[in-house]
Chain A
């Protein structure tokens, strides 16, 4: 029963990781940039929600509504001002740029909010603490179900948009061949800016759920980035449903690791990631990304 419980909790945790990972996957899929500031942008979004929620005495779910458009705009501006320039000077520059951006965001948050640990859990009431008890040893937390549902809705909407709308077709065309996309009239830089906007908004959404689920502080970003990155690699680069699968595999690995011994939780996740990386599929991915 203990194991079943671990798997169930792992699936819910995986929903959160998938939500973190989908923006990372989108930016990588469309622009071939690994956004090292993704986790920090998520934490910045969580702080944004925290500020609105505490100042205006709102539920974090309501506070998300004004924060998400701001994060969309921030992502769009971020691409137009910083990423577009760095993209022009080769594949290494964007990596360094986002690394620098991560440090800037962390220190700015530290300056404004101090290193104190915050949580949004206390502001959401029974949503973050309640659960359905199925048996004496198995319970299903409200928040876990909510996060998994939001993850499925966000990833599903993203997948549908990419596959079935004109907006998504332009994004896929630009991802496959930006030069030829320009030759059929698609402004690649606008498509890139939109992808960044969506990615930053989903990061903020994920950061907010992290903040409700547990705690966060200005230095929480890099850990979440690593989990998101692992979820993306386990699920297969550039695949939306694969990202959900990867997040869930990572979540289950961590909760099973924790069941064996609490200190193995994170380690178990890393081990699964390394196994995937060493498998034939991981070697295939490495070979594919090495050839432009």
Chain B
């Protein structure tokens, strides 16, 4: 089966700095992929480039077999690719309901409507009339996920799901995510919290300094191996001895 999302040799830059260096990865329908790595590893830039809000320097992005490398972000949403951006980015002066409705206007046909979203995230119901700016971090994150779902995405990209949230809010956001995963959603999750990431993901990709340094099925990798790749501890040994089994396809 062809992967739903296919990224090949992607390069993305901030000025002269290459934040994403020749990254290739693919996501199959129904798969949950965790993208982990330290601050500045290029995870967010990679997601933003896939979503079309950061320019591609080189490489290609295919979605459902179509080359979308040069397609503007709103067309990618229409094709079924949605990003929950880092920092939630709700429209602050609009109410929660308006935030949901603005995403619904040009949505793909699909199961998600205001009603179904509220059934899935009941905590949003009493907040509908409130301006997004007054919500707590956890409420904002849930609203941002709900807003992205309103576009009826086939792949949902989630950037920094738990960053800046209280532990209890993280728990509730992940409960919502578990619900989505049980229903067969295709997710790419960027997460600093390794434990959380490994608990939901089918596959884990670890980035370091713009490159993929580890790519593996979650069951086949230990937390220690991911931690090593995370901090680049095994870089010396990998360059000298390519036999290290825990490091998947290095790009």
Chain A residues within 8 Å of B, Cβ to Cβ: 166, 169-170, 172-173, 176-177, 179-188
Contacts and interface: CB of A to CB of B under 8 A. Distances in A.
A185 B107 CA distance: 7
A55 to B, nearest CB: 42
A184 B147 contact: yes
B51 interface: yes
Interface-centre pick from A166, A169, A177, A188 (highest chain B CB count, 10 A) = A169
Interface-centre pick from B92, B106, B148 (highest chain A CB count, 10 A) = B106
Given A166-B105, A184-B102, 17 more contacts: A169-B94, A169-B102, A170-B105, A172-B94, A172-B98, A173-B102, A176-B94, A179-B89, A181-B102, A182-B52, A182-B72, A182-B77, A183-B83, A184-B103, A184-B150, A184-B151, A187-B72
Interface of B: 51-53, 72-74, 77-78, 82-83, 85, 89, 91-94, 98, 101-103, 105-107, 147-148, 150-151
Contacts of B94: 169, 172-173, 176
Given A166-B105, A170-B105, A185 B92 contact: no
Contacts of A182: 52-53, 72-74, 77
B101 to A, nearest CB: 6
Nearest to B107: A185
A182 to B, nearest CB: 4
A68 to B, nearest CB: 26
A135 to B, nearest CB: 46
Contact of A166 (B73, B78, B101): B101
Name A's interface SS.
Answer: helix
Contact of B93 (A176, A183, A188): A176
Interface-centre pick from A170, A173, A177, A186 (highest chain B CB count, 10 A) = A173
B70 to A, nearest CB: 14
12 contacts: A166-B101, A166-B102, A173-B91, A179-B53, A180-B91, A182-B53, A184-B77, A184-B147, A184-B151, A185-B105, A186-B102, A186-B106
